Chain A
Amino acid sequence: KQEVTQIPAALSVPEGENLVLNCSFTDSAIYNLQWFRQDPGKGLTSLLLIQSSQREQTSGRLNASLDKSSGRSTLYIAASQPGDSATYLCAVKAYNTDKLIFGTGTRLQVFP
């Protein structure tokens, strides 16, 4: 059974720092991995999607990498800003299934 874990559970950093959020999954037979942002009381905003055949994806200050064989993905946030404060979730999709399996999330706080 696929399990998705995110470390750290919470992170508080000063503005301007470069950050790395980690996501690990137990079954490497995934089709893709998606990173989301969730603001308090709000929905999930899709940030990046990495196909299993890809190593990384970039969008602005965000860069996500995928190492399928070791069951890991990282989300790199460059030059963090207070507006980046949110919970970041990763989710994996296996072959022949519709569902996303979500991680536990990392709650990020960036202070000025």
Chain B
Amino acid sequence: EPEVTQTPSHQVTQMGQEVILRCVPISNHLYFYWYRQILGQKVEFLVSFYNNEISEKSEIFDDQFSVERPDGSNFTLKIRSTKLEDSAMYFCASSERAVYSQPQHFGDGTRLSIL
């Protein structure tokens, strides 16, 4: 069964450094998402992306964050200057064209640890 893949599985970064999290969505999916889960807390929406632009973002997704689809397969989340509070599990998800009626499929996540 097709799946969303994320790399790396664990990223350790010094505070203030830039980090890029990578995702390969399911191949025929057109909507892409990033969520995060701080340890012990709920999964929270960050951003959605369709047709090479952001379609929706949360208040968490400030100017430090950006997303990109640099080629036909990868979808990336960049954090420019990481803070301690950015430590979390970051999940990528994708869904088919008819976004409202289709489930979102999630990857295994990247655990980001900021030191």
Contact = CB atoms under 8 A, between A and B. Distances in A.
Contacts, number: 56
A91 interface: yes
B98 to A, nearest CB: 11
A100 B103 CA distance: 10
A13 to B, nearest CB: 23
Given A32-B100, A93-B100, A102 B109 contact: no
> How many of chain B's residues touch chain A, expressed as a range?
20 to 34
A46 B31 contact: no
A42 B108 contact: yes
B101 A89 contact: no
A46 B94 CA distance: 12
Interface of A: 31-32, 34, 36, 41-46, 49, 51, 89, 91, 93, 95, 97-105
Interface of B: 4, 6, 31, 33, 35, 42-45, 48, 55-56, 58, 91, 93, 99-109, 111
The 9 closest A-B pairs by CB, nearest first: A99-B45, A98-B48, A43-B108, A44-B106, A102-B43, A49-B103, A98-B56, A46-B103, A43-B106
